[in-house]
Amino acid sequence: MIFSPSNPGRQSPPGPSAFTRLELVLMIALGAVLISLLLGYTRRTTAKVSAVSCVGNLRQLGAGVAMYTIGGDAKLPYASLVFTTRAQSTWDTLISPVIRAEARRAISDPNTAAPGKSFLNPLLLCPSDPVPPAAWAAKNKLPRRSYAITRHNMSPQNWPPSANNATGIGLSWTFGSYGTNPPSAKVYNFEQTNRQAAVRFGMILKPAETLLLTERAWSNNIVGNASGAWIDRTSDHTDASALAPDALHQGRFNYLMLDGHVETLFPHQAVGADGEVGEDARKHLGPWTIRADD
């Protein structure tokens, strides 16, 4: 038998070469890197959008404070008012009519003492603030608030309200427990414009350097409630047990000044020269006080 040599013209074309194990590993690693980069970019973009939205919230709240002040004989909002009926009214309650918000009484209506409701207005919550409401608030379906007004300490050294006060803006009245109020503060007609003790816009000599509102990511910072309505110092920005200090805006916080502009700063940049403190070592000077030269 004669065997013919194979005809090269009839040979099958070579098929596509298969991935080697090394090439497959490299492809998987490259895919993982690309996914990681994409996720990182998405997170950074989301964080930037949230930060911009938070700044926008504060600017609109600042506009609400300005409108409230113009309509109230230049009186700036109180931090909180706690009535004998346990009804509460806070700075966000006071400006809610002018910003068309629903920051209503969290406990009850101070005019009727009837059970009240508290509604979430998107302006009052920073998109980067993930802290849930405290159990007592969640039980009553009361929503969180991300912002707080600087607190006036109402101490003898800073009474009555004036341009020389080395403390914050928001007064806190507690009716029915007058021991917590200044002895000289005998007038409690907070709805009146002229005689009521109040911090007024004309007392603020440097509005662009005076802090009005900033972030307070705390579970007890509840819409329309005195709890968490005010802030004394940068360490109050977050509740360390619920949120890392750098969790909101990569360690920065937003600060609304009284002239309406917002600054995004690290806490150490927002405490005045050399981090100075006032009569209470826990409270800051600089932008945290009414006084212009501290």
Tally Cβ neighbours within 10 Å of residue 137. Answer: 22
Query: Is there a contact between 98 and 104 (Cβ–Cβ < 8 Å)?
Result: no
The helix (H) or strand (E) run that includes residue 62 is helix 21-70
pLDDT of the residue at 176: 63
Query: Is there a contact between 249 and 162 (Cβ–Cβ < 8 Å)?
Result: no
Tally Cβ neighbours within 10 Å of residue 143. Answer: 19
The helix (H) or strand (E) run that includes residue 45 is helix 21-70
Exposed, middle or buried, 113 (CB in 10 Å: 0-12/13-18/19+)? middle
Running DSSP on this structure, what letter comes out for residue 30? H
Tally Cβ neighbours within 10 Å of residue 1. Answer: 2
What span, in angstroms and rounded, lies between the C-alpha atoms of 198 and 176? 19
* pTM, 2 dp: 0.75
Kindly report, residue by residue over 70-87, the tens digit of the pLDDT.
Answer: 988 899 999 998 877 778
Kindly report, residue by residue over 166-217, the tens digit of the pLDDT.
Answer: 999 999 887 765 555 554 554 444 555 555 688 999 999 999 999 999 999 9
Domain-embedded: residue 2 = no
Kindly report, residue by residue over 233-286, the tens digit of the pLDDT.
Answer: 898 998 876 677 677 888 899 999 999 999 999 988 888 665 555 545 556 788
pLDDT of the residue at 140: 86
If one counts the domains in the chain, the total is 1
Residue with tokens 């940049």: 269
What span, in angstroms and rounded, lies between the C-alpha atoms of 107 and 226? 10
CB contact set of 242 (below 8 Å; sequence gap of 6+): 131, 217, 218, 219
Three-state secondary-structure class, residue 150: strand
Domain-embedded: residue 18 = no
What span, in angstroms and rounded, lies between the C-alpha atoms of 93 and 78? 10
pLDDT of the residue at 110: 37
What span, in angstroms and rounded, lies between the C-alpha atoms of 241 and 21? 48
Domain-embedded: residue 256 = yes
Mean pLDDT of the chain: 77
Phi, psi dihedrals of residue 213, rounded to the nearest 5°: -125, 150
Residue 103: domain span: 36-288
Query: Is there a contact between 65 and 77 (Cβ–Cβ < 8 Å)?
Result: yes
Domain-embedded: residue 253 = yes
What span, in angstroms and rounded, lies between the C-alpha atoms of 228 and 36? 38
Domain-embedded: residue 41 = yes
Domain-embedded: residue 249 = yes
Domain-embedded: residue 31 = no
